[in-house]
Every structure is written in structure tokens, then in C-alpha cells.
Structure 1
Amino acid sequence: MASMWKRGPIKVKGQIIRFLRWRPEFSIHEDLVQTKLVWIRYPELPIEYWHEKILLSMGKASGHPVEVDRRTPHGTMGNYARVLVEVPMSGTRVEEIQVERKQPGKNVLFWFKQRIIYEDGIGRCTFCKKLGHLVEQCRSKKNNERNPAEEDRRPGRTL
């Protein structure tokens, strides 16, 4: 039982299932989901990195990797690789990672930056840095614009 909780989401007959410990008074209407499953893309990733072990290792930078898209190892996706990752709903997202490896036959490290694209369509506000909305809908920005005088009246602020 404990090992199931530690593993995170598992796949059963093509469906992703996540087991959680039962809690008294649990309500699906009140408890907020803290994580979600998201497909991430690695655009223009060199083909020598399209191995399951490497892609799952790269997915750890974004969250808890669950699986590699079944078409990715065969190279049928085009110019990107895909990994299903369990990501936290709050906080900031990793938009770029550094991929390192030793050059074959040498002890020299080779590295490059790899962009990450999230396929969930959730916007990220550039003002408050939260997920779920864009800067145009940001309440924090609207409140800040309405009350600029309050910003100057904070304790410790000198004019």
C-alpha cells in the first residue's frame, strides 16, 4: 500500500490512475487538486536523446515523469519528443533546461539548452507569476493599478 502511494500515477489498461491515502471527512468538492498531468514537448531535440530513459530523466526538471509518448521512440512525432509529467498546479514552471553529456571517446562535457513547451493551455501571468490566467485578467495587477498611492504608504517606504 505504501509503495503505491510513493509511485505516483500508474497506467492501468491505458488509463492513468493516482492512488491517495484515504482521509476522514474527504470531499471531492472541497479538496483542491495540487498536481495535474501535462504532456510536455521538447522541440528540436536531437534524435540521439529520444530514448525513454533520457526523456524521463529530462522530465524530472518539470515534475514527476509518468511516461513517454508511444510515438516518440519511433520518431513519428516530427520535430519534437513528448513526455507525460505530473506537475504542481502552483509555482513557476521550468521553461528551459540544460542537457549535458560526455562526448563519445572523450572526457569533455557537451551541453545545450532545451526549450520545454507545456500542452495544457494554462496561461501564466507575467505580472504575478501564477498559473491559470494571463496578465490581462490579473487581479493583482488591476488592484495595483487602482491603488498606486497605497504602494507608497507601506511601512519602511521612503519618499
Structure 2
Amino acid sequence: MVRFEREEEYLAALTGGPWRAFGSYLMVRAWSPEFDPLKDNIATTPVWIRLTNIPVNFYHRSILMGIAKGLGKPIRVDPTTLNFERARFARICVEVNLAKPLKGTVLINGDRYFVSYEGLTEICSKCGVYGHLVHGCPRTIANEWPFQ
């Protein structure tokens, strides 16, 4: 829990992310009296996504935010992307639901492009859910269980 003396600092911390600490995303939310850190389950988190090798004519805020809607709730586009400083990938901050499968590709005008999620290393290639890898996937384990 953090207390701010100036409202500008509070708003910058609340809306300026996503923030990372020690290689993990830091979830920032406004305080509410009902919040219990031991009981609250955080299902959504902001994450930077990378769209690899998309054509540069898609490097406009409105187009990238529209594409990002298919991956979660778009938050903002990286200024480096908008300034065409990097042409290998476009970078967009999206709030994703970690309890639902994450998409590994996105279809744009009939062409499929890869999506990577910065900082999310445990995404299952079988079910797409964050938090385990394919060898520990509940679906795989359920299918291998001999006493069904």
C-alpha cells in the first residue's frame, strides 16, 4: 500500500503503468475499503504485448488499439511504436484476463501475426492459460489419468 502527498503523483502511478518490479508486473489499483490482499483474487493485469512483423501502415494509434481489442482491453500504445523507431514489432499495453486463454496469434486482413506477452513466461501452449506450462496442464493431466 502506498500513500501519495500530491494528487498528480497518485494519478501518474495509477494510470501511467504497467509497472514492473523484480521482473514481474505490479498491479496498481485505487484503494477501496473492501480490499483484502489475502482474499482478493487478481484475474486481470496490464501487460505489454508485441505484434511481430505487422506492416508499418498499421502503426497508428487507432489501428493498433483496434487490433488490441481482440486480445483484451487496450490501454495505450508504446510511443516508440508510434514514432516508427522500431519496425520489428508493435508494442501495445493491454489489460488481459489471466483466467482465460491468451491468444498466440491475431488475424489482420487475412494474415496471421504472432503475439508475445512481455513478462508472462508461463503460458500453456495447449490451453493458452497463464500460470502453467504444457507439461503441467490440467487438461493434459486429466487425459493421461488412467482411472477415468
Per the normalisation by structure 1, the TM-score is: 0.67
Unpaired segments ≥5 residues, structure 1: 1-10, 101-110, 152-159
* Map of 1:136 onto structure 2: 135
Superposition deviation, residue 18 in structure 1: 3.9
CA RMSD of aligned residues (A): 2.5
State the secondary structure of the residue aligned to 1:12: helix
Query: 1:50, 1:72 within 8 Å by CA — same for their partners in 2?
Result: yes
* Map of 1:91 onto structure 2: 100
State the alpha-carbon separation in 2 of the partners of residues 61 and 95 from structure 1. 11
Query: 2:103, 2:128 within 8 Å by CA — same for their partners in 1?
Result: no
* Map of 1:51 onto structure 2: 60
Identify if the C-alpha distance between structure 1 residues 29 and 41 changes in structure 2 by more than 3 Å, giving closer, same or farther.
Answer: same
Over the matched positions of the two proteins, sequence identity in percent amounts to 28
Name which of 26, 30, 40 aligns with 2:39: 30
Identify if the C-alpha distance between structure 1 residues 75 and 127 changes in structure 2 by more than 3 Å, giving closer, same or farther.
Answer: closer
State the alpha-carbon separation in 2 of the partners of residues 96 and 88 from structure 1. 16
**For residue 123 of structure 1, what is the amino acid of its counterpart?**
E
State the secondary structure of the residue aligned to 2:40: coil
Query: 2:122, 2:132 within 8 Å by CA — same for their partners in 1?
Result: yes
Query: 2:104, 2:114 within 8 Å by CA — same for their partners in 1?
Result: yes
State the secondary structure of the residue aligned to 2:79: coil
Q: How many residues align?
A: 127
Identify if the C-alpha distance between structure 1 residues 127 and 59 changes in structure 2 by more than 3 Å, giving closer, same or farther.
Answer: closer
* Map of 2:77 onto structure 1: 68
Encode CA deviations 1:71-111: one digit per residue, 9 max, x unaligned. 001111231110000000111112222223xxxxxxxxxx4
Identify if the C-alpha distance between structure 1 residues 128 and 56 changes in structure 2 by more than 3 Å, giving closer, same or farther.
Answer: closer
Query: 1:128, 1:141 within 8 Å by CA — same for their partners in 2?
Result: no
